[in-house]
A and B are shown apart, each in its own frame.
Chain A
Amino acid sequence: MADHLLEVRNLSVDFHTAQGTVHAVRDVSWHLDRGETLAILGESGSGKSVSASAIMNLIDCPPGEIVSGELLFDGQDLLKMTDDQRRDLNGRRIAMIFQDPLSHLNPVYTVGFQIAEIMTAHGTPKDEARARALELMERVGIPNAADKIDSYPHEFSGGQRQRLMIAMALGMKPDILIADEPTTALDVTVQAQILDLLEELQAETQMGLLLITHDLGVVAEVADRVVVMNSGEIVETGTATQVYHNPTHPYTKQLIGAVPGTGEMAEPMDTAIKPILEINKMGKKYGAFTALQDASLTVLPGETVAIVGESGSGKSTLAKTLLRLEDATSGEALYQGRDLVTMDAAELFALRREIQMVFQDPTQSLNPRMSVYDIISEAFVIHPEILPKEKWTARVQELLEQVGLNASHMYRYPHQFSGGQRQRIAIARALALEPKLIVCDEAVSALDVSIQAQVITLLNRLQEELGLSYLFIAHDLPLVRDFAHRVVVMQGGRIVEQGPVAQIFDAPREIYTRNLLAASLHPDPEVQAARRAERLDLQEAV
């Protein structure tokens, strides 16, 4: 009998690319036992998913190469098995679920077929597989499973899709379930439900759960032990509590230090100042569907107002109607006394300078065929009154330095920068027009925690230097807690609660806000355990 259910010993994997060889993981060892939850924690590029991919035989060789190591499953080395033997283990004894279930489910087949397929592929008769698929759909909490079994993935919500992925993975009652960032794209309350479900199922089946994540909160919520990875190497191992309270490696300390939600909350601003933006009863309908209803809020000069809410709460619609990317169907939005909703095209054009936007994904919002200089100086092409042409270069350099980038890189293209740097470029582009208000739509959501912290620090500094106001749309509550002066909570197209940040976080009035706060994860396992109890109480109360 083997010591451990699964043991990775001294695994090293290289990827041979046109730019040279990348050592994706180096000499990585860890193990997983039955009934245990192990988390592999790391940021993007840390190699946290590579060992799991190696276990599932999902690394394409070439360009990948497993240089050395052993993958012992029940004492047998997976790397010494034939492809057929490994295919037989995949899905039957080791199953895997992924981030972004929409793209990981085949869009053109019914979910019933896809769940049953994992069983038929391993020899279960068709009828039996379908009956079990239905059972599993019920088990993972799909309402009306019998009616939904022949529906397609796009007909389900994000959380339901992840439930379906879990149902699929459990088809053959595997010994090990590998979950690669299973809750990353989901709303906090849905994330909490999915993690609860995984824990329940684990208790039922005693499977080993390997959880790959970038989120210390997820680790605190479910992991027994954690392996911290950085640049392809394991820097720290231990129980979740040990690692959080007594980190030994500088990287772990830095990672824990970067986690938002533990700092000082901002004092509310003096409300006697005249607001820069005043939204009154703004609404937006798409046909019969009301996306936004009676939204009223104000933003003061130099203030950060955060809009939080889950997907479909109307927070992005609010931003789009405010910027006139979509036309509001009712209400008004007074910017320094002038109504943005009814403003004519010429006035709006002039005013666009003063309200700028930073989008979620800089990879998509920056034109890949324009150099950074072109991207930023385009502002002056559109609004030539800002700056004469001979001063453009100097101004672009100045802006790049202001956002903490090397000014000599201005003729490079977006793909030559990292995600965090690209978001800085997007901020520099917004600043080029010398705006007074910047709308940030999930501007740091796609970034790693430590990069996130840097961008937030930058935004704070710019606010102090330039007196900017921010309308900061986010789903990440701890981040908002550290950054915003005031918080607006939205649900189903309506504002349900708003107030100074301390009031919302320390004394929320609405049950929805309390649910949202209880569902957001804290990196300290002990604090998180208390929060979890609170969440479960709230659930019972409802």
Chain B
Amino acid sequence: MTAFLQKRAFASLISLMGLVVLVFFLSRLTGDPTTLYLPVDASLESREQFRELHGLNDPILVQFGRYVGDLVQFDFGMSIRRSAPAIDVVLQAFVWTLQLALITMTLVTVAAIVIGSIAAFHIGGVFDRIATFFSLIGASAPDFWIAIISIVIFSVGLGWLPTSGTGTVWHWILPIAVLFIRPFGLILQVVRGSMVSTLSSAYVKTARAKGLRNKPIIFVHALRNAMLPVITVIGDQAAALLNGAVVVETIFGFPGVGKLMIDSILQRDFTVVLAAIMVTAVAIFVMNILIDILYAVLDPRIRY
């Protein structure tokens, strides 16, 4: 297990290095920040000064070398726009995103597993049909549309919930509800499919012959075996949320990492873009390793 973790950590590090190269050079292709930060009629000297100050005049490879050198010391540089260390800006936003993702995925996982398992047990029944119908709608509905419609109904129309921002518990409800729908639909389908096959497996037949009640048959014998493909999809969906739910965060004015990334790209605040990508990448690598560990915990036949 330790050897496996070391190997995974090492592989992640290589990927991260690739990511640094890719993002650094791609972001430079988007144009010169001076045209954005300084007024249109700024003098050539002030432009020159700005470039000099932020090191934009050096050859690009020198800039890259300097950036990597700083990175090794966990110095992501200063945000051009916010005059604060880029990493602080990103971590602040990341905490918001992490909370949002954690709460949403916990709710999604519990709901999808319980409803999907019951639907699979009563396959073809009324409960199954209703669950399948709504999960398909959920998995296919575009989230920007749901976000806007829900603001129209619950904030503007009924006036129950705030339209955007943070502050109270009420502010969290709409973003979580909107983010919930798609992963819930998807994961429910995976749970249901996986449970249908484990419920028809030979060991479930044994459990029935032993005289077990339905509840242990479904939630002890079938579910744990059905979880492996489900965990893969949960990881996938959680990664999407950790990346920042760009659209939903923007619509609800939620100060998460997705909104920060979009803003920074538009502002050519490269240091922040890079720091944000690195932080989310590290988070996703960590999560994938956790999922691999979870596989081994759930299935004793998997040993690394």
B211, B221, B298: the one contacting A106 at CB < 8 Å is B221
The interface residues of chain A lying within 8 Å CB-to-CB of B220 are 109
A40-99 CB contacts (< 8 Å) to partner B: 56-58, 87-92, 95-96, 98
Complex CA gap A96/B301 in Å reads 26
The interface residues of chain B lying within 8 Å CB-to-CB of A106 are 203, 206-207, 221, 225
Also in contact, A108 and B225, with CB within 8 A (given A152-B300, A154-B301): yes
B202 touches A98 (CB 8 A): yes
A246 touches B (CB below 8 Å): no
B201 touches A (CB below 8 Å): yes
The interface residues of chain A lying within 8 Å CB-to-CB of B216 are 117, 121
B205, B212, B225: the one contacting A104 at CB < 8 Å is B205
The interface residues of chain B lying within 8 Å CB-to-CB of A121 are 210-213, 216
The interface residues of chain B lying within 8 Å CB-to-CB of A105 are 203, 206
Complex CA gap A117/B301 in Å reads 21
Complex CA gap A152/B298 in Å reads 12
A104 touches B202 (CB 8 A): yes
A150-204 CB contacts (< 8 Å) to partner B: 152, 154, 165, 168
B224 touches A (CB below 8 Å): yes
Also in contact, A92 and B206, with CB within 8 A (given A108-B300, A152-B300): no
State which size class the interface on B falls in.
Answer: 20 to 34
Also in contact, A90 and B300, with CB within 8 A (given A58-B205, A105-B203): no
Closest A residue, CB atoms, query B204: A106
The interface residues of chain B lying within 8 Å CB-to-CB of A58 are 205, 208-209
A57, A104, A122: the one contacting B206 at CB < 8 Å is A104
B52 touches A (CB below 8 Å): no
The interface residues of chain B lying within 8 Å CB-to-CB of A117 are 210, 212, 216
B206 touches A90 (CB 8 A): no
A144 touches B (CB below 8 Å): no
B58 touches A (CB below 8 Å): no
Also in contact, A91 and B211, with CB within 8 A (given A106-B221, A121-B216): yes
B211 touches A92 (CB 8 A): yes
Secondary structure at the B interface, as helix, strand, loop or mixed, is helix
B221 touches A88 (CB 8 A): no
Complex CA gap A121/B220 in Å reads 13
Complex CA gap A217/B209 in Å reads 27
A56, A108, A118: the one contacting B299 at CB < 8 Å is A108
Task: Tell me the minimal C-beta distance from A185 to chain B in angstroms.
Answer: 12
Task: Tell me the minimal C-beta distance from B214 to chain A in angstroms.
Answer: 9
A103 touches B (CB below 8 Å): yes
A100 touches B (CB below 8 Å): yes
Complex CA gap A90/B205 in Å reads 12
A107 touches B (CB below 8 Å): yes
Complex CA gap A336/B300 in Å reads 49
Complex CA gap A495/B233 in Å reads 50
Task: Tell me the minimal C-beta distance from B236 to chain A in angstroms.
Answer: 22
The interface residues of chain B lying within 8 Å CB-to-CB of A92 are 211
The interface residues of chain A lying within 8 Å CB-to-CB of B225 are 106-108
Task: Tell me the minimal C-beta distance from B180 to chain A in angstroms.
Answer: 29
A225-259 CB contacts (< 8 Å) to partner B: none
Complex CA gap A144/B188 in Å reads 43
Among B202, B209, B220, the one with the most A-chain Cβ atoms within 10 Å of its Cβ is: B209
Also in contact, A91 and B210, with CB within 8 A (given A58-B205, A104-B202, A104-B205): yes
Task: Tell me the minimal C-beta distance from A103 to chain B in angstroms.
Answer: 4
A98 touches B207 (CB 8 A): no
The interface residues of chain A lying within 8 Å CB-to-CB of B298 are 108
The interface residues of chain B lying within 8 Å CB-to-CB of A168 are 206, 210
Closest B residue, CB atoms, query A60: B200
Complex CA gap A121/B221 in Å reads 13
A89, A90, A91, A103: the one contacting B201 at CB < 8 Å is A103
A108 touches B210 (CB 8 A): no
The interface residues of chain B lying within 8 Å CB-to-CB of A152 are 300-301
Among A106, A117, A121, the one with the most B-chain Cβ atoms within 10 Å of its Cβ is: A106
Among A57, A100, A118, A154, the one with the most B-chain Cβ atoms within 10 Å of its Cβ is: A118
B301 touches A98 (CB 8 A): no
A96 touches B209 (CB 8 A): yes
Complex CA gap A121/B214 in Å reads 11
A100 touches B202 (CB 8 A): yes
Complex CA gap A260/B17 in Å reads 67
B205 touches A98 (CB 8 A): yes
The interface residues of chain A lying within 8 Å CB-to-CB of B205 are 58, 98, 104
A103 touches B210 (CB 8 A): no
Also in contact, A103 and B203, with CB within 8 A (given A108-B224, A108-B299, A154-B301): yes
Also in contact, A57 and B210, with CB within 8 A (given A98-B202, A107-B203, A154-B301): no
B203 touches A57 (CB 8 A): no
Complex CA gap A534/B225 in Å reads 45
The interface residues of chain A lying within 8 Å CB-to-CB of B224 are 108-109
The interface residues of chain A lying within 8 Å CB-to-CB of B208 are 56-58, 90
Task: Tell me the minimal C-beta distance from B257 to chain A in angstroms.
Answer: 36
B202 touches A103 (CB 8 A): yes
Among B210, B220, B300, the one with the most A-chain Cβ atoms within 10 Å of its Cβ is: B210
A107 touches B209 (CB 8 A): no
B206 touches A98 (CB 8 A): yes
Closest B residue, CB atoms, query A96: B209
Complex CA gap A95/B209 in Å reads 7
Closest A residue, CB atoms, query B299: A108
Q: Mark B212-229, 1 if CB is under 8 A from A, else 0.
A: 110010001100110000
The interface residues of chain A lying within 8 Å CB-to-CB of B207 are 106
Complex CA gap A105/B300 in Å reads 13
The interface residues of chain B lying within 8 Å CB-to-CB of A100 are 202
Q: Mark B182-206, 1 if CB is under 8 A from A, else 0.
A: 0000000000000000000111011
A-B contact pairs, 26 of them (CB 8 A): A58-B205, A87-B211, A87-B213, A89-B211, A90-B211, A91-B210, A91-B212, A95-B210, A96-B209, A100-B202, A103-B201, A103-B202, A104-B203, A104-B205, A106-B206, A106-B221, A107-B203, A108-B298, A108-B301, A117-B212, A121-B211, A121-B213, A121-B216, A122-B211, A152-B301, A165-B206
In the complex, besides A90-B210, A98-B206, 8 extra interface pairs with C-beta distance below 8 angstroms are A91-B211, A92-B211, A103-B201, A107-B225, A107-B299, A121-B211, A152-B300, A168-B206
Which 10 A-B pairs rank lowest in CB-CB distance, beginning with the nearest? A91-B211, A90-B211, A103-B202, A91-B210, A106-B203, A96-B209, A104-B202, A152-B300, A118-B210, A104-B206
